[in-house]
Structure 1
């Protein structure tokens, strides 16, 4: 693996529910401090200042104008550092990291900062012919293009995932996140922004889960088993192996982006994980840590079932997932990578330990990466 790029630093903001903690904070104001902190961490880890070749950020609903470049300037990286913005919807942050890895492996072996950012609170209102809309189509006319909440309900019905299983999964996510927060396992990865020091929703929904009404008549989905729309940013530093120095980190052993039925987009992470495992020539049983973006409890359970994993597998979102922390769309895939970095590198996992990050994507896609600890 001496020729593979290495993730040597990883940071994120606290995650704030839309219109709460970061109600007035723009995308570049979220991403800028995270980029600065990640670059500083990388310099300390490698023992040298890094000359950043590019900033690659995922973003879904931002203001346009290339938020990655705006964030790079806001971070004070200098006018010579470019930026590019990736839109793969909920997989954007992870896709951005993989783009950075691929660029270095392709021969441009200069360091990159990559991740994602979403400010749902300040996202502009979009319209066609003066008519506002919440989101652009994920599929062309004549194809299924369900709202993501409806798609999650359809998936629960198709896989016979009960309300009780969904409630239990959401409660487990909150309990794990609360335990991680109380034990300080988030502290080293969080960059305070605007005086906000911690995720704002951990544990809030857990006591209410059994009392919440279904979102659809006769359905099983509730507000507690659907993640909250959120604001946040996350970033990693990716360096060529020659610049790693003695830094511990993660190398991407295999990755994949796949398509699936747009009528059931929530399952996309499952075939993506299987393809990434094949690319890395490993199996699910070889993996020590898994981070799957929990957009909905039903979606997470459907993915776990297709991967042959138990609902309560301790390797999966061991410190809680998006159901507890929140879901800043364009950043969530990058948050998954930050969490893997904390669970494996910061926690001292031995060299060779494997992890998986994955997300299902609106429109019927999935993205996944298999990482390995190097020391």
Structure 2
């Protein structure tokens, strides 16, 4: 058995577009049923030491604590909400795993949640704004859309290649949904039982979307970019000695704030070096597909994409371009997907999985997992 903390349960809500089927659920209301499902799946894994959730644009007030109480946990169970932007869900899982490995043997629930639909409007000096700065004055501070377009220009990733990658995501996600491949991980909420994003007709429509930056010869469109979405995802983590998905290595790094989409490159390289592993050993890879251009730029640098070819290990059931991007939850969704692809699918002991995400402000987060039986 592994010496590392083990994910023994992994669940998520359906992911729906902002303003869609989950629009009237707050972040805590989205997270609570997922927390409850993870606890039920974990069975008699012992008392809960903490609930750690990532969130980026919620109302504050420690959403993890509110969600834990709403899920029926006792008042003695604390909660912690953390913000590492689009890497928040995976950062929460890493944080919880570190506590377990440090010697606290109590079960942890960790993941992320975002209700884009109910996110409050923020105001400074009487002016409403969409986001806080990712970097201080003197540093580049592009929003993630502009940064993805800059990456497309830098790497010469054209519209056709971006659209092809987005089409791949939709085709894979639709096929997975139709064969019931998401069913084991989804917790129905408010009568919603399936993801709203994957659509069979999208690949045929991608060339009709206008560019988001037409004056700059832009190649990003709404079709090859993710949709702001609502959703939650979480896992249950316990000490070593049980079957599941062991968290064997992690890495969080900084990179140029001007090109935040490249964060996964340094994170994955650092992770593999520290773990003494090679990317060729990894059977399943989940990258948060915020934008096709950003995904392709990182995957190409990692040797996982070239021209029109994408390594079949990457987001094999579709990714955020099809499912949607609930910011604080997306990187935790990646871990839930790895659990389904490896543990639920019966992969043999020793099989490796990798989750990684780019983060606004110039960060990358990654974690390496191993199946234990």
Per-residue Cα deviation, 1:254-310 (whole angstroms, up to 9, x for no partner): 110000000010010111011111122111100000000000000000010110112
Instruction: Provide Cα deviations, 1:166-210, integer angstroms capped at 9, x if missing partner.
Output: 000000000000000001010000000000000001026333201
* Partner of residue 24, structure 1: 24
Q: Quote the residue 2:212 is aligned against.
A: 215
Residue 318 (structure 1) aligned to one of 311, 316, 319: 316
Which of 61, 67, 70 lines up with 1:71 in the alignment? 67
**Does 2:128 correspond to 1:132?**
yes
Cα distance in 1 for partners of 2:204, 2:192 equals 24
Q: Per the alignment, in what secondary structure is the counterpart of residue 327 of structure 1?
A: coil
Matched residue, 1:328: 326
Q: Secondary structure, in 3 states, of the residue corresponding to 1:189?
A: coil
* CA RMSD in angstroms, aligned pairs only: 0.9
Do structure 1's residue 54 and structure 2's residue 50 form an aligned pair? Answer: yes
Kept after mapping to 1: 8 A contact 2:45/2:107: no
- Tell me the distance in 1 between the aligned counterparts of 2:174 and 2:276: 35
Change (3 A) 1:255 1:120: same
Aligned to 2:280: 285
State the SS of the aligned residue for 1:71.
Answer: helix
Distance 1:49 1:316 in 2: 32
Stretches of structure 1 that go unaligned for 5 or more consecutive residues are none
TM-score (norm 2): 0.97
1:205 equivalent to 2:197? Answer no
Partner of 2:347: 349
Distance, in Å, in 1 between the alignment partners of 2:207 and 2:349 is 42
> Secondary structure at the residue paired with 2:56?
coil
Q: Distance in 1 between matches of 2:226 and 2:278?
A: 29
Q: In the alignment, which residue of structure 2 is the partner of 1:260?
A: 255
The reply on whether 1:93 has 2:89 as its aligned counterpart is yes
Partners in 1 of 2:150 and 2:115 — Cα distance? 28
Counterparts of 1:127 and 1:201 in 2: how far apart (Å)?
31
Aligned twin of 2:174: 178
Specify the SS of the correspondent of 1:121: helix
Residue 37, structure 1, aligned to residue 34, structure 2: no
- Residue pair 2:105, 2:239 contacting (<8 A) in 1 also: yes
Report Cα offsets for 1:91-127 as digits up to 9, x if no partner: 0000000001111111212110000000010011001
2:107 maps to which residue?
111
Q: Name the CA distance, whole Å, in 1 between partners of 2:249 and 2:343.
A: 18
- TM-score, normalising length: structure 1: 0.96
- Return the offset for 1:142: 1.4
Distance 1:73 1:184 in 2: 31
Mapped to 1, the partners of 2:47 and 2:160 lie a distance apart of 51
- Give yes or no for contact 1:253–1:279 (8 Å, CA) kept in 2: no
Contact 1:269-1:303 at 8 Å conserved across structures: yes
- Aligned residue number for residue 7 of structure 2: 7
Q: Tell me how far apart the structure 1 counterparts of residues 310 and 135 of structure 2 sit (CA, whole Å).
A: 34
Q: 2-side partners of 1:267 and 1:131: how far apart? A: 32
Q: Is the 8 A contact 1:39 1:50 kept in 2?
A: no
Structure 2 residues not aligned, in runs of 5+:
none
- 1:135-190 per-position Cα deviation (integer Å, ceiling 9, x unaligned): 00000011100111111000000011011110000000000000000010100000
Map of 2:240 onto structure 1: 241
Equivalent position of 2:116 in the other structure: 120
Q: Which moved more, 1:266-275 or 1:315-324?
A: 266-275
Moved over 2 A (4+): 204-207
Are 1:276 and 2:271 counterparts? Answer: yes
Matched, 1:229 2:228: yes
Conserved in 2, the CA contact under 8 Å of 1:250 and 1:371?
Answer: yes
Shift, 1:49, TM fit: 4.7
